């Protein structure tokens, strides 16, 4: 009788786990704040890694290394030896998508299991997951259309949307769920939003440079965006200087109004990242776009976007409702982001 009762007791628990696995895990596990931060950081890191490896696919001419989707070639899910290194590179990038999904999944489980439950963080986690799914579908469509340059551009920009959500989620783990309180005046906030829009435009024009430039993503002739890529590259460089000027202006304004150290340090960090990215950009331009330098520039673009988001997010704070010595406040969170990124 006892064995039968124990058996029937396990069945409802098993059904509960199948019906709502996240709730079942949350009921039995409470991660520490440090674990939650590491989980969300892993999702952010992988969102940057997938940008870099996607760039490697394009720069090595491996965009059609696996010419079909979702299979790699014909009836095979994996590349054959006849496909060579290009097939291996493209297939590796596809497999890293599953690593990204695992990192996002860990982040979702961690934020869902923390106590008290924070619906806003869980929603951010699921937003990351569905963005990965959407970009994977678009990636398959990109292959099936023979690396159409317009879908390639959108594919890249969606990756930056994913990075945006990941940064916000990571930042929010160090904050509460109360309404945000501004740390600077409205004119300074507006300057921050202007900087954000200019940086977004800079990234978007950068994708057009790539879509019109010589790196088509495949060794054969692939349709390019019908514009003179050097002219677009000049526009991209001009926009970069506009972003630098806005960053310097914001930095001095923050110092002039005696803003908290978090926003000031974030603006300084953005300026330093922009200077490094500018050097890489001019080197790649005057050396005829070597693949390795272009790949480094793509990585730098992701860092520029993250640094810009840090500036925007540092200009407000959300009070932590339940005091916890292990959860850093907004100023400390800025330092933690600086080290992590």
102 and 139 part of one domain: yes
Kindly state whether residue 20 falls inside one of the protein's structural domains: no
pLDDT, residue 60, reads 86
Kindly state whether residue 187 falls inside one of the protein's structural domains: yes
pLDDT, residue 34, reads 94
For the residues 132-145, what does the mean pLDDT come to?
91
Look at 323 and 101; give whichever has higher pLDDT.
101
pLDDT, residue 202, reads 96
pLDDT, residue 13, reads 59
pLDDT, residue 133, reads 95
State how far the Cα of 122 lies from the Cα of 105, in Å rounded to an integer. Answer: 11
Kindly state whether residue 87 falls inside one of the protein's structural domains: yes
| End position of a domain, from candidates 173, 194, 215 | 173
The domain spanning residue 284 has which CATH number? Answer: 1.20.120
169 and 212 part of one domain: no
Number of folded domains that form the chain: 2
Instruction: Tell whether the model's pLDDT for residue 16 goes beyond 60.
Output: no
135 and 192 part of one domain: no
Nearest to 271 by CA among 255, 296, 251, 287: 251
Range from 135-139, 211-215, 269-273, 300-304 carrying the lowest mean pLDDT: 211-215
pLDDT, residue 236, reads 93
pLDDT band at 17 (very low <50, low <70, confident <90, very high): low
pLDDT band at 321 (very low <50, low <70, confident <90, very high): low
For the residues 157-166, what does the mean pLDDT come to?
96
pLDDT, residue 333, reads 40
147 and 190 part of one domain: no
Kindly state whether residue 114 falls inside one of the protein's structural domains: yes
For the residues 215-240, what does the mean pLDDT come to?
84
269 and 331 part of one domain: yes
339 and 190 part of one domain: yes
In angstroms, the Cα distances linking 318 to 55, 102, 181, 265 are 36, 29, 6, 19
Kindly state whether residue 282 falls inside one of the protein's structural domains: yes
195 and 301 part of one domain: yes
For the residues 188-194, what does the mean pLDDT come to?
96
| End position of a domain, from candidates 173, 191, 223 | 173
81 and 229 part of one domain: no
127 and 222 part of one domain: no
Domain that holds residue 195: 180-319+327-341
Instruction: Tell whether the model's pLDDT for residue 339 goes beyond 60.
Output: no
Kindly state whether residue 22 falls inside one of the protein's structural domains: no
Share of the chain above pLDDT 90, in %: 54
User: Could you give the angle at the alpha carbon of 329 between the alpha carbons of 106 and 126, nearest 5°?
Assistant: 25
* Mean pLDDT score across all residues of the chain: 86
pLDDT band at 70 (very low <50, low <70, confident <90, very high): confident
Look at 271 and 12; give whichever has higher pLDDT.
271
Instruction: Tell whether the model's pLDDT for residue 337 goes beyond 60.
Output: no
For the residues 2-22, what does the mean pLDDT come to?
55
For the residues 53-76, what does the mean pLDDT come to?
86
Kindly state whether residue 17 falls inside one of the protein's structural domains: no
162 and 310 part of one domain: no
pLDDT, residue 108, reads 95
For the residues 119-147, what does the mean pLDDT come to?
93
206 and 162 part of one domain: no
| End position of a domain, from candidates 143, 173, 203 | 173
- Each residue's pLDDT tens digit, 279-316: 998 998 888 888 889 899 999 999 999 999 999 999 99
298 and 259 part of one domain: yes
Kindly state whether residue 24 falls inside one of the protein's structural domains: no
Range from 98-102, 113-117, 234-238, 323-327 carrying the lowest mean pLDDT: 323-327
């Amino acid at each position: 009788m006892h064995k039968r009762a124990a058996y029937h007791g396990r069945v409802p628990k098993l059904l509960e786990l199948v019906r709502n696995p996240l709730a079942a895990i949350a009921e039995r596990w409470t991660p520490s704040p440090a674990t939650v931060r590491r989980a969300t950081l892993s999702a952010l890191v992988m969102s940057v890694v997938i940008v870099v490896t996607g760039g490697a696919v394009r720069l090595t001419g491996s965009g059609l290394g696996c010419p079909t989707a979702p299979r790699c070639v014909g009836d095979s899910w994996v590349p054959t030896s006849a496909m060579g290194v290009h097939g291996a590179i493209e297939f590796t990038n596809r497999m890293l998508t599953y690593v990204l999904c695992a990192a996002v999944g860990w982040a979702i489980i961690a934020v869902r299991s923390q106590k008290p439950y924070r619906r806003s963080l869980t929603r951010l986690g699921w937003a990351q997951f569905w963005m990965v799914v959407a970009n994977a579908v678009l990636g398959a469509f990109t292959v099936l259309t023979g690396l159409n340059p317009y879908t390639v551009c959108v594919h890249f920009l969606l990756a930056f949307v994913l990075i945006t959500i990941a940064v916000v989620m990571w930042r929010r783990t160090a904050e509460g769920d109360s309404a945000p309180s501004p740390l600077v005046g409205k004119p300074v906030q507006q300057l921050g939003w202007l900087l954000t829009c200019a940086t977004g435009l800079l990234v978007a024009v950068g994708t057009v440079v790539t879509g019109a430039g010589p790196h088509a993503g495949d060794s054969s002739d692939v349709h390019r965006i019908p514009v003179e890529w050097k002219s677009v590259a000049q526009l991209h460089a001009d926009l970069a200087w506009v972003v630098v000027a806005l960053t310097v202006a914001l930095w001095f304004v923050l110092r002039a109004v005696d803003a908290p150290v978090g926003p000031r340090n974030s603006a300084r960090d953005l300026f330093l990242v922009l200077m490094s990215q500018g050097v890489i950009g001019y080197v790649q331009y005057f050396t005829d776009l070597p693949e390795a330098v272009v790949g480094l520039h793509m990585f730098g673009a992701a860092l520029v976007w993250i640094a810009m988001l840090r500036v925007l997010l540092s200009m407000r704070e959300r009070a932590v409702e339940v005091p916890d010595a292990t959860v850093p406040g907004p100023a400390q969170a800025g330092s933690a982001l600086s080290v992590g990124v």
